[in-house]
Amino acid sequence: MSEKDKRYSVVIAGGGSTYTPGFVLSLIANQDRFPLRKLKFYDNDAERQKKIGDACAIIMKERAPQIEFSYTTDPKEAFTDVDFVMGSIRVGKYHMRELDEKIPLRYGVNGQETTGPGGMAYGMRSIPAIIEIIDWMEKYSPNAWMINYTNTIAIVAEACRRLRPNAKVINICDMPVEIMTRMAKICGLNDYHDLDVNYYGLNHFGWWKEVRDKKTGKDLMPLLKKHISENGYWIGGEFDKETETSWAETFKKAKDCYALDPETLPNTYMQYYYFPQYEVKNADPNHTRTDEIREYRQKIVFGECARIVKAGTAKGNIWEANAEHSNYIVDICHAIAYNTHEKFFANIPNNGAIANIDSDSIVEVPCWFGADGVQPMATGMAGRFQKGLIEEQQACEKLVVDAYEQHSYTKMWQAFALNKTVPDASVAKKILDDMIPENKPYWPELN
């Protein structure tokens, strides 16, 4: 068989993820450019995975019977004979995300999945689980690539840099492309593929300094600045008819973030660092994003899976129309499989990509994706404001990995105390002391 006719084998680690069915539909829709021979799910929660797996088995039988489909909790079975591993796990599941959000709020600190103390706690839980998966991949399928979007990505990527520096792992995030889809709409273009950009920062912590129409080279910054100074990234109307309220607020809040530096366009996540007091004031300590997901996305996904299994058919399922999150991941697999050197985003060791940031910092920048992995783009200098913010935040991320490696209570305390979302070291200590017993099954013992 020639390379041209090659068919790929993919395993989704975190088969029970709420994003899995959407990803499956996206893979099926892209069979002309990324053809599969095998699709497997792997999860360590058999019961949760079965609910998604049984529905996906019906989808696969109806839409892509040529692809061999299975799901398992056995690592050997999962990671043998695969070309791509998708990392989509949530260690401690939504129960732990809820605590990441609610414990900081007890002390007037923002409670968020991937930022502040909650994000650092989550990153610490993900490290050993991702390292374990990398090791299985390398043992059973040494030529495979792992495309990892398991959060907290900045911390996971720093752990990969230190603990598995040669592993074929690419740590990615969909937020820049999600925002760029909005930018494209604002400019009357179709989606992120139509834009050429210069972007730099850390994961969930970055800025665009250039946005152009890819085809014509036209500078789109003036148009975008005008829209964002009035509406943030909010578009409204048909485009936003299914956007949840908390996401709507996030896209609108980008207006206030933009005001802080009118030269660049901010990642939406900057809201948590620029306006932590506002975030706390607007939060309900008893009802956070996790509760919303349980009441909405999780309910819809598992409800739809149960409906499909009961009906014995996936006709008219809810994912068919909209799988944009997952299309981006297919784009990336395609670029690696066919060595296209298209530009997407990855979290990688800086090595000069941001000229005035340490070379061993993990940064999020545009990269060319190909058969040899990712090649970062040189993005130039970080502004003084951005440089200060980046250095503080990336020190927090490094301290979490120090704490993991050294089993150090002090390092984790320093990470919390240094963070921009935390007012002082005594508050940092209270949050950490509440988190330690809850994270006992997942964290190393901190001494």
The residues of the shown chain that bind ligand NAD, judged by CB under 6 A, are 13-14, 16-19, 43-45, 48-49, 88-91, 93-94, 129, 149-151, 153, 173-175
Catalytic one among 174, 191, 240, 291?
A: 174
The binding track of 94-113 with respect to ligand G6P, each residue x by CB under 6 A or -, is -------------------x
Q: How far apart are CA 99 and CA 112, in angstroms?
A: 10
Select 114 or 386, whichever has its Cβ closest to ligand G6P: 114
For residue 305 the two structure tokens come to: 């899976």
> Does residue number 156 form part of the binding site for Mn ion (CB under 5 A)?
no
Q: Is 97 labelled as part of a ligand binding site?
A: yes
Q: Is 164 labelled as part of a ligand binding site?
A: no
Stated as kind and residue range, the H or E segment containing 12 is strand 8-13
Contact 220, 213 (CB under 8 A): yes
The per-type count for the chain, helices as H runs and strands as E runs, is 17, 12
Residue 246 CA: distances (Å) to CA of 287, 288, 440: 12, 10, 31
Three-class DSSP category at 108: coil
Q: How far apart are CA 138 and CA 118, in angstroms?
A: 30
As a dihedral over the C-alpha atoms of residue 59, residue 63, residue 66, residue 67, rounded to 10 degrees, the angle is -40
Select 89 or 175, whichever has its Cβ closest to Mn ion: 175
Shortest distance in whole angstroms from residue 206 CB to ligand NAD: 13
Cβ-Cβ contacts under 8 Å for 274 (sequence gap 6 or more): 256, 257, 260
Select 9 or 150, whichever has its Cβ closest to ligand G6P: 150
CB atoms near residue 8 (< 10 Å): 19
As a dihedral over the C-alpha atoms of residue 174, residue 178, residue 179, residue 180, rounded to 10 degrees, the angle is 100
Select 209 or 289, whichever has its Cβ closest to ligand G6P: 289
Q: How far apart are CA 289 and CA 162, in angstroms?
A: 32
Q: How far apart are CA 323 and CA 116, in angstroms?
A: 29
- In the annotation, is 269 catalytic? yes
> Does residue number 175 form part of the binding site for Mn ion (CB under 5 A)?
yes
Per CB under 6 A, which region of 67-75, 168-176, 302-310, 387-395 contacts ligand G6P?
Answer: 168-176
Select 45 or 77, whichever has its Cβ closest to ligand NAD: 45
Catalytic one among 19, 107, 233, 269?
A: 269
# binding residues, ligand G6P (CB under 6 A): 8
Q: Is 48 labelled as part of a ligand binding site?
A: no
Per CB under 6 A, which region of 123-131, 167-175, 192-200, 411-419 contacts ligand G6P?
Answer: 167-175
* Contact partner at residue 227 from Mn ion, ligand NAD, ligand G6P, none, CB < 5 to 8 Å by partner kind: none
> Does residue number 320 form part of the binding site for ligand G6P (CB under 6 A)?
no
3-state helix, strand, coil in the chain (%, to 5): 50, 15, 30
- In the annotation, is 273 catalytic? no
Shortest distance in whole angstroms from residue 49 CB to ligand NAD: 6
What residues are annotated to the active site?
174, 269
Q: Which residues bind ligand G6P (CB under 6 A)?
A: 113-114, 151, 173-175, 289, 293
Write out the binding residues for substrate. 97, 151, 289
